[in-house]
Structure 1
């Protein structure tokens, strides 16, 4: 089981959900699961989002996710 935490625009696109449990083997699977749960609005955010897996940036969306990991969904932020 994973914990998915949403920040800023990702939280808004997930209907105000701040965190939720999920089960997925990698980020590609997780993105599909979250899109199925929350719809196209979140799917658009997820396409541009960065993901932290237990606090570390993950660029390989096919890498296995550790059991019990916390996944932070960070949409692009405005400003500098």
Structure 2
């Protein structure tokens, strides 16, 4: 079941998406990554494959887990230097 989320992009993810924040509907992290790739293209898709995700400030490692309604998802690509 899809829920409305707010996605915030940082660093290279922001550059690939072309914006810093946007609303989108998705039910899981896997569905979110697919929806964002469909919306913004493969450049963002490559970043998403290496990115870490925070859901309402907590690390999310289970791509199939349901996302809570009205959650904020931060997309954090790998950062250079640590």
Q: TM-score, normalised on structure 2? A: 0.95
Unaligned runs of 5+ in 2: none
Rounded Cα–Cα distance in structure 2 between residues aligned with 1:78 and 1:28: 25
2:23 to 18, 21, 43: 21
Rounded Cα–Cα distance in structure 2 between residues aligned with 1:41 and 1:23: 20
**1:23 aligned counterpart, secondary structure:** strand
In the TM superposition, 1:23-42 aligns within 5 A as 23-42=25-44
**1:67 aligned counterpart, secondary structure:** coil
Return the offset for 1:3: 0.1
Residue in 1 aligned with 2:71?
69
Q: Which 4+ stretches in 1 moved above 3 angstroms?
A: none
Q: CA RMSD in A?
A: 0.5
Rounded Cα–Cα distance in structure 2 between residues aligned with 1:6 and 1:19: 6
Structure having the larger proportion of residues in strand = 2
